[in-house]
């Protein structure tokens, strides 16, 4: 049979998605369900002085107005980064206090969505506002807390001794998630006090734990169901306040409640990429050997939690720099808690650092690709460990070749086409290989099929497909003979679909249980009275093309499984990397998110890539367009080039959007994000996306686990913004150090 | 959304009769109106749907006056072969607007009546918006105002008029035809959109109950060498940060007629007559273009968030002039 792993396979969930058969959370409905609508605060700080719900409650169809006075008291939970499962420790409607613009202050339940929204829109709420709220990252704000610190060598001495120095500050704005699928959920209590929540979820098991904890329930009383997700990217990893509100409202009303959070209301009520600022110093010898790297950052967070995304530790793995000093800090602002967004730590950090690297190459008068070649580290500069595998320079070589980099004239403003300014830039893409753990169940059925259960989520990355490929490979089946069921907290525990961990962890778990099921099948077949394999050595049996064989004896898998006393074979187990401490891997069973890497005990693992882009700039209006992009990546074993390609391409598409368009604009008078809809919060459209070439290099990695696959879900976004900023510099001679890169930055 | 009554008008008279009722709004493609009703910014009590009124549909680009029925869709007008050849600026202003789906729904009349994209206007959580609630203030003056106007604003409102089509029409001295309870009238498009001054809530000269029936454009030979330049961050599906409609008639290497209108920069479609006059009789070179572009932006009154638009506006005019000049050359060569 042809190899299944490593070949391009179409997505198994594709037909269901394009025909509409796939049922997303908000496609569900229940008899007698009520529709919820949110009332959000127009003030950022203060309190709710009064809510007069009399008139609204009398409107047709209105069933309940829930405010802080009637909201059931919730138990505490912590944000995921602090070991909990919540988006924020701040509990919705916990009191009359208002802590950010757009905080929910009431929920209206009605028979129809239109009734609920209308009532929510006219509910009279009196606010007592307090001045002084801040939603932006204030200029020159000192960090209030250190969240990351790393020293390698003597960075100050190396800086002093450096012949060539670059000092620069960079800044990235807050950004909000705008996947197609809106936030929301359907919450349903049963007569026994159990709660089922249909909610788009990157972590069914984690959300179950968080919801159960909030309502003081044992975990097995709650079920979170999320087979399909219409885009998540980190925004659907944790229990949002709005999910808790829907569950609470359903409890009060005694009826199922569906809440669809509108696009506009989704901005303040969900997690976002916080604003950040980096102060960088790079020192190098005149020959282009890096010596010093200072990295001081300020990262926006909220008042109530320490959610932050320091990226310095990853940057310290990019090049061989003997002196490094990294200090990362928090700045508190009056916003809802920030949260994960595709490569949350890496995206802003890599923009800043890879821009600075380019600035240094310019200062040295050196080809930026050559400059990186001179600073390639033989081992992990932080821990001194060997790389599990590292192919950055190969990525640059191949990328340069595909792009035609050798044709670049390096001086800024030296390339034009049809009167337009042309700029070519490159940057490194990087994402750490986080090594998690997962469990899975595999069942062989009397129809000759395999069924895989795992609570892991397919957030559009292709998990359904690669898990089927892995099971099929181990069992000698075609992928269509494997049914994979995911995204249900009733299934075996898995890590959050975050940190690009799912392919490796759940893939290894499925590989492991598939092998166990096959072994159990062989063992059992040798014990079937009158069966063709009776008395044979289990090791002499094989399974391929749906047939069990040993010597001349053959039996179809369907017949073989049917012949067993139980009519099925089942295996359940957990896979954990041997270097993950047992104490850590056991956390999986308590809805933890155990995760090792990038440094393990004996190696350090990251995925690398190289991106090359071309910008075309109108010499008068300075409109920035991108005719082409090239990305070359090495990510260990590529399980399915087709789904991997989509991830990398999608990452670069968002990278462009992140670099040129996306910013949540802060109104300083209201401490609010003001462009809260898709007409004003611009994400890239088709016409913005150029010829986009993605290539994956062969890379063998034996250290990270049996299937040897590094996560590729996030790396694609990381190099695009600096590559574009570097290209804009090349085209115009103007260095833009602030995202998004806009016309006004290069007008003069 | 506030509950409302719905009536599908069968004729212009029927529409006018219903449109005279308290709280009535006309519904054309609905791409502005329904959107704003959904987010609570517009709250009509009754909608009078104009889509069945035959005399409002259709358009004719053949005669001495081009006539566009108010209910013609943006898509069908943009696809007209005559318009594309003889008035590229008009066709481009439609093609570069919105998205294909929206252009299929939206009408060329509704387009002139679309409301501003000011984010404070569109979000009822912000109290201060003179346009939405007269006298409440203006949150944009010292708020986020990158997309706001640098020309024609007042201390009451600096919202841009977002229609691309209106800008191109302004360059061609278009007129609008209006039917009301008292009969029909025609007015130049220049005076259709009115300056904000004290009353930014009033945007057009249309009186309550009146229907915009058609848009009229006098035929113009300069149309052939016209272009619409639209500057925006995103390649498609975005309003203009700045735009310019330019038409040129060249004679013997000199400008015989120049028409320049600006968009994305001003509170009404902005005809740059002084810049046009400056170019007349001159050759189109770097210095005359720069002078004209600077003149076009005379009187700009920027805020910190949109200060760059003064320079960008000039560059946009230059860009549009260059493109139109290129078309003129190509036309001569052909
Ligand atoms: C996402 C988005 C992007 C857009 N991008 C652009 C862009 O880039 N450039 C651009 O120019 N436009 C853009 N538009 C605006 C769009 O072109 C307008 O919404 C559309 O042209 C309005 O026409 P309509 O027929 O849908 O009007 P409607 O929404 O039906 O009506 C608009 C208003 O005009 C009134 N009205 C309509 N017709 C008449 C009439 N005949 N007589 C009297 N009153 C009438 C209505 O009562 C209402 O107040 C965009 C819109 C959206 C939603
Ligand atoms: S600019 Fe005009 S529309 Fe915008 S907030 Fe001010 S008054 Fe309202």
Delimiting residues of CATH 3.90.1170.50 domain(s) in chain A: 19-132+180-232+236-269
Q: Which helix (H) or strand (E) holds B60?
A: strand B59-60
Which of A624, A666, A687 is the closest to B236 by Cβ? A687
> In this predicted model, which residue has the larger pLDDT, A142 or A671?
A671
Query: What 8-state DSSP symbol labels residue A676?
Result: -
Cβ-contact A449, A455 below 8 angstroms: no
**CB within 8 Å of A62: residues ≥ 6 apart:** A56, A108, A109, A110, A115, A116, A119
pLDDT bracket for residue A547 (50, 70, 90): very high
Interface check for B85 against chain A (CB to CB < 8 A): the answer is no
Find the angle CA(B77)-CA(B82)-CA(B85) to the nearest 5 degrees.
110
* Distance from the A15 Cα atom to the nearest Cα atom in chain B, whole angstroms: 25
Question: Per-residue pLDDT tens for A623-682?
Answer: 999 999 999 999 999 999 999 999 999 999 999 999 999 999 999 999 999 999 999 999
Interface check for B322 against chain A (CB to CB < 8 A): the answer is yes
pTM of this prediction exceeds 0.95: yes
User: Tell me, what's the pLDDT at B334?
Assistant: 62
The phi, psi pair for A370, rounded to 5°, reads -65, -40
Interface check for B290 against chain A (CB to CB < 8 A): the answer is no
Per the CB < 8 Å rule, is B312 touching A677? no
**3-class SS of residue A432:** strand
State whether the beta carbon of B149 lies less than 6 angstroms from ligand 2: no
State whether the beta carbon of B300 lies less than 6 angstroms from ligand 2: no
Which residues in chain A are closer than 8 Å to B139, comparing Cβ atoms?
667, 669-670
Task: Enumerate the β-bridge partners of residue B179.
Answer: B184, B211
Q: Which of B228, B280, B218, B219 is nearest to B249 (CA)?
A: B280
* CATH hierarchy code of domain A435-596: 3.30.365.10
Q: Which of B9, B18, B102, B230 to mutate to test the pocket of ligand 1 (most atoms within 8 A of CB)?
A: B102
Q: Which atom of ligand 2 is nearest to B148's Cα?
A: 1
User: Tell me, what's the pLDDT at A158?
Assistant: 98
CA distances from A592 to A501, A503, A584, B273 (A): 14, 18, 9, 69
DSSP string, B113-125: TPPP--TTTT-TT
Question: Per-residue pLDDT tens for B184-201?
Answer: 999 999 999 998 888 999
H helices of chain B, in order, are 12-19, 33-38, 74-78, 81-86, 88-95, 100-105, 108-112, 164-171, 189-192, 273-279, 286-296, 308-333
Q: Does domain A19-132+180-232+236-269 have CATH number 3.90.1170.50?
A: yes
Cβ-contact B161, B194 below 8 angstroms: no
Question: Per-residue pLDDT tens for B265-304?
Answer: 999 999 999 999 999 999 999 999 999 999 999 999 999 9
Structure tokens at A417: 């086409």
d(CA A396, CA A392): 6
Query: What 8-state DSSP symbol labels residue A182?
Result: P
Segment A153-173 mean pLDDT: 98
Segment A62-80 mean pLDDT: 97
* CATH hierarchy code of domain B5-49: 3.30.43.10
User: Tell me, what's the pLDDT at A1?
Assistant: 45
Q: What is the ipTM of this complex?
A: 0.96
* A97 has a pLDDT exceeding 50: yes
* B250 has a pLDDT exceeding 90: yes
Which of A118, A621, A669 is the closest to B315 by Cβ? A621
The phi, psi pair for B250, rounded to 5°, reads -100, 140
* A2 has a pLDDT exceeding 80: no
Question: Per-residue pLDDT tens for A695-705?
Answer: 999 999 999 99
* B311 has a pLDDT exceeding 90: yes
Delimiting residues of CATH 3.30.365.10 domain(s) in chain A: 145-161+273-433+600-746, 435-596
Question: Per-residue pLDDT tens for A208-264?
Answer: 999 999 999 999 999 999 999 999 999 999 999 999 999 999 999 999 999 999 999
User: Tell me, what's the pLDDT at B330?
Assistant: 87
* A743 has a pLDDT exceeding 80: yes
Question: Per-residue pLDDT tens for B39-52?
Answer: 999 999 999 999 99
The phi, psi pair for B44, rounded to 5°, reads -70, 150
Burial (CB count within 10 angstroms: exposed 0-12, middle 13-18, buried 19+), residue B13:
exposed
Q: What is the second-level CATH architecture of the domain B58-126+145-329?
A: 2-Layer Sandwich (3.30)
User: Tell me, what's the pLDDT at A142?
Assistant: 81
User: Tell me, what's the pLDDT at A117?
Assistant: 95
Structure tokens at A309: 């995304």
Minimum-distance ligand to the CA of A263?
Answer: 1
**CB within 8 Å of B101: residues ≥ 6 apart:** none
Residue ranges covered by each domain of chain B: 5-49, 58-126+145-329
Query: What 8-state DSSP symbol labels residue A52?
Result: -
Question: Per-residue pLDDT tens for B122-170?
Answer: 999 999 999 999 999 999 999 999 999 999 999 999 999 999 999 999 9
CA distances from A98 to A87, A105, A135, A202, A726 (A): 17, 8, 14, 29, 42
Give me the residue label for tokens 């089942």. Answer: A570
Task: Enumerate the β-bridge partners of residue A282.
Answer: A166, A293
Minimum-distance ligand to the CA of B200?
Answer: 2
Question: Per-residue pLDDT tens for B220-247?
Answer: 999 999 999 999 999 999 999 999 999 9
Four-CA torsion A697, A703, A705, A709, nearest 10 degrees: -10
Q: Which helix (H) or strand (E) holds A313?
A: helix A312-315
Q: Give residue ranges of A with CB < 8 Å to any B CB.
A: 40, 42, 102, 114, 117-118, 121, 264, 618, 620-625, 660-661, 665-670, 672, 674-677, 679-680, 682, 684-688, 740, 742-744, 747-748
Per the CB < 8 Å rule, is A620 touching B315? yes
Mean pLDDT for chain B overall: 96
Mean pLDDT for chain A overall: 97
Which residues does ligand 1 sit against, CB inside 6 Å? A 679; B 25-33, 35, 50, 70, 74, 97-98, 102, 105-107, 109-111, 113-114, 162-165, 211-212, 239
CA distances from B235 to A151, A608, A625, A663 (A): 44, 30, 8, 17
Q: Which helix (H) or strand (E) holds A524?
A: helix A502-525
Find the angle CA(A61)-CA(A67)-CA(A69) to the nearest 5 degrees.
125
Choose the weakest-confidence range: A141-150, A300-309, B89-98.
A141-150
Q: Which of B28, B49, B92, B192 to mutate to test the pocket of ligand 1 (most atoms within 8 A of CB)?
A: B28
Cβ-contact B126, A42 below 8 angstroms: yes
Which residues in chain B are closer than 8 Å to A624, comparing Cβ atoms?
233
For testing the chain A interface, which of B144, B150, B162, B228 should be mutated: the one with the most A CBs within 10 Å? B144
Task: Enumerate the β-bridge partners of residue A86.
Answer: A79, A239
**CB within 8 Å of A552: residues ≥ 6 apart:** none
Cβ-contact B250, B134 below 8 angstroms: no
d(CA A641, CA A364): 38
CATH T-level fold of A145-161+273-433+600-746:
Aldehyde Oxidoreductase; domain 4 (3.30.365)
* A125 has a pLDDT exceeding 50: yes
B131 CA distance to ligand 2 middle (Å): 6
Q: Cα A169 from chain centroid?
A: 26
Question: Per-residue pLDDT tens for A565-596?
Answer: 999 999 999 999 999 999 999 999 999 999 99
State whether the beta carbon of B121 lies less than 6 angstroms from ligand 2: yes
d(CA A491, CA A470): 18
d(CA A141, CA A541): 68
Per the CB < 8 Å rule, is B319 touching A744? no
**CB within 8 Å of B27: residues ≥ 6 apart:** B33, B34, B47, B48, B49, B50, B51
Cβ-contact B73, B210 below 8 angstroms: no
The strand ranges marked E within A605-748 are: 606-617, 624-634, 666-667, 672-673, 691-697
Q: Is the dihedral of CA A658, A661, A664, A666 positive or negative?
A: positive
* A553 has a pLDDT exceeding 70: yes
Label residues B298-319 b or e (16+ Cβ within 10 Å = b): eebebbebbebbbbbbbbbbbb
d(CA B314, CA B321): 11
* A437 has a pLDDT exceeding 90: yes
């Amino acid at each position: 049979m042809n190899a299944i792993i490593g070949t391009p396979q179409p997505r198994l969930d594709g037909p269901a998605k394009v025909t509409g058969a796939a049922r997303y959370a908000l496609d569900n409905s229940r008899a007698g369900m009520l529709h919820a609508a949110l009332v959000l605060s127009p003030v950022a700080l203060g309190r709710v002085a009064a809510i007069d719900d009399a008139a609204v409650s009398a409107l047709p169809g209105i069933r309940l107005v829930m405010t802080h006075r009637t909201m059931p008291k919730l138990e505490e939970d912590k944000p995921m980064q602090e070991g909990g499962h919540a988006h924020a420790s701040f509990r919705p409607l916990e009191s009359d206090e208002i802590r950010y613009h757009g905080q929910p202050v009431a929920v209206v339940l009605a028979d129809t969505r239109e009734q609920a929204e209308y009532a929510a829109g006219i509910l009279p709420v009196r606010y007592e506002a307090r001045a002084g709220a801040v939603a932006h990252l204030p200029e020159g704000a000192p960090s209030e807390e250190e969240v990351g610190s790393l020293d390698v060598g003597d960075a100050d001495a190396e800086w002093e001794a450096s012949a060539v120095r670059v000092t620069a500050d960079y800044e990235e704005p807050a950004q909000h998630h705008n996947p197609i699928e809106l936030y929301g959920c359907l919450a349903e209590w049963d007569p026994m006090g159990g709660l089922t929540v249909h909610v788009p979820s990157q972590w069914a098991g984690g959300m179950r734990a968080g919801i159960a904890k909030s309502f003081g329930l044992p975990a097995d009383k709650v079920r979170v169901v999320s087979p399909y997700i219409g885009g998540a990217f980190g925004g659907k990893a944790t229990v949002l306040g709005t999910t808790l509100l829907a569950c609470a409202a359903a409890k009060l009303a005694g009826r199922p409640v569906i809440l669809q959070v509108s696009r506009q209301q989704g901005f303040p009520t969900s997690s976002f990429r916080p604003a950040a600022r980096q102060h960088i110093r790079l020192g190098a010898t005149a020959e282009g050997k890096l010596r010093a790297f200072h990295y001081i950052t300020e990262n926006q967070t909220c008042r109530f939690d320490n959610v932050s995304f320091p990226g310095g530790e990853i940057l310290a793995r990019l090049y061989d720099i003997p002196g490094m000093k990294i200090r990362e800090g928090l700045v508190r602002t009056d916003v809802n808690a920030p949260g994960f967004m595709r490569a949350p730590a890496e995206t802003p950090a890599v923009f800043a650092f890879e821009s600075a690297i380019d600035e240094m190459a310019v200062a040295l008068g050196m080809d930026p690709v050559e400059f990186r070649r001179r600073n390639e580290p033989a081992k992990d500069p932080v821990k001194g460990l060997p790389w599990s595998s590292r192919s950055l320079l190969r990525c640059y070589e191949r990328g340069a070749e595909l792009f035609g980099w050798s044709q670049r004239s390096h001086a800024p403003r030296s390339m034009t086409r049809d009167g337009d300014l042309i700029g070519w830039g490159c940057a490194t893409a990087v994402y750490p290989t986080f090594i998690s753990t997962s469990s899975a169940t595999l069942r062989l059925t009397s129809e000759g099929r395999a069924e895989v259960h795992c609570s892991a989520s397919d957030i559009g990355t292709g998990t359904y497909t690669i898990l089927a490929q892995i099971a099929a490979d181990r069992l000698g089946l075609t992928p269509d003979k494997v049914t994979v069921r995911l995204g249900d907290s009733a299934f075996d525990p898995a890590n959050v679909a975050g940190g690009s961990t799912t392919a490796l962890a759940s893939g290894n778990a499925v590989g492991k249980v598939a092998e166990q099921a096959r072994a159990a099948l062989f063992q059992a077949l040798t014990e079937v009275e009158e069966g063709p394999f009776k008395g044979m050595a289990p090791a002499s049996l094989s399974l391929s093309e749906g047939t069990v064989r040993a010597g001349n004896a053959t039996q179809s898998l369907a017949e073989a499984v049917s012949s067993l006393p139980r009519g099925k074979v089942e295996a359940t187990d957990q896979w954990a990397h041997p270097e993950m401490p047992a104490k850590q891997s056991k956390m999986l069973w308590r809805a933890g998110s155990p995760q090792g890497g990038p440094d393990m005990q004996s190696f350090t693992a990251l995925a690398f890539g190289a991106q090359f882009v071309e910008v075309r700039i109108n010499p008068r209006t300075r409109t920035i367009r991108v005719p082409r992009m090239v990305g070359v990546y090495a990510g260990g074993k590529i399980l399915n080039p087709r789904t991997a390609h989509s991830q990398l391409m999608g990452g670069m598409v968002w990278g462009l959007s992140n670099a040129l368009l996306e910013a949540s604009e802060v109104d300083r008078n209201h401490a609010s994000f003001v462009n809260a809809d898709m007409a004003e919060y611009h994400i890239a459209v088709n016409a913005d996306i150029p010829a986009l070439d993605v290539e994956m290099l062969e890379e063998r990695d034996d250290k990270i686990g049996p299937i040897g696959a590094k996560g590729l879900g996030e790396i694609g976004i990381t190099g695009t913004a600096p590559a574009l900023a570097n290209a804009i510099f090349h085209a115009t001679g103007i260095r833009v150090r602030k995202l998004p890169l806009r016309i006004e930055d290069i007008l003069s | 959304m506030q509950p409302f009554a719905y009536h599908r008008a069968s004729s212009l008279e029927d529409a006018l009769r219903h449109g005279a009722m308290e709280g009535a709004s006309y519904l054309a493609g609905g791409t502005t109106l329904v959107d704003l009703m959904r987010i609570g910014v517009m709250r009509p009590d009754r909608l009078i749907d104009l889509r069945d009124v035959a005399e409002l549909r259709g358009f004719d680009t053949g005669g001495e006056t081009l006539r566009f029925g108010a209910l013609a869709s943006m898509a069908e007008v943009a696809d007209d072969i005559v318009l594309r050849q003889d008035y590229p600026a008009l066709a481009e202003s439609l093609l570069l607007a919105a998205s294909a789906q929206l252009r299929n729904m939206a009408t060329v009349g509704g387009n002139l009546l679309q409301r501003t994209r000011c984010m404070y206007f569109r979000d009822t959580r912000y109290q201060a918006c003179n346009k939405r609630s007269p006298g409440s203030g203006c949150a944009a003056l010292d708020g986020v105002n990158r997309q706001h106007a640098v020309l024609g604003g007042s201390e009451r409102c600096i919202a841009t008029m977002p229609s691309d089509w209106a800008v191109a029409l302004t360059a061609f001295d278009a007129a609008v035809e209006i039917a009301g309870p008292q009969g029909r009238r025609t007015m130049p498009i220049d005076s259709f959109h009115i300056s904000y001054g004290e009353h930014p809530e009033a945007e057009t000269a249309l009186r309550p109950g009146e229907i915009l029936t058609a848009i009229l454009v006098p035929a113009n030979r300069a149309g052939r060498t016209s272009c619409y330049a639209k500057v925006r961050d995103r390649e498609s599906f975005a309003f203009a940060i700045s735009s310019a409609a330019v038409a040129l008639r060249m004679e013997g290497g000199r400008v015989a007629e120049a028409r320049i209108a600006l968009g994305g920069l001003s509170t009404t479609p902005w005809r740059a007559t002084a810049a046009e006059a400056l170019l007349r009789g001159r050759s189109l070179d770097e210095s005359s273009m720069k002078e004209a572009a600077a003149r076009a932006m005379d009187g700009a009154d920027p805020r910190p968030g949109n200060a760059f638009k003064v320079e960008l506006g000039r560059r946009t005019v230059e860009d549009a002039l260059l493109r139109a000049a290129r078309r003129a050359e190509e036309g001569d060569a052909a």
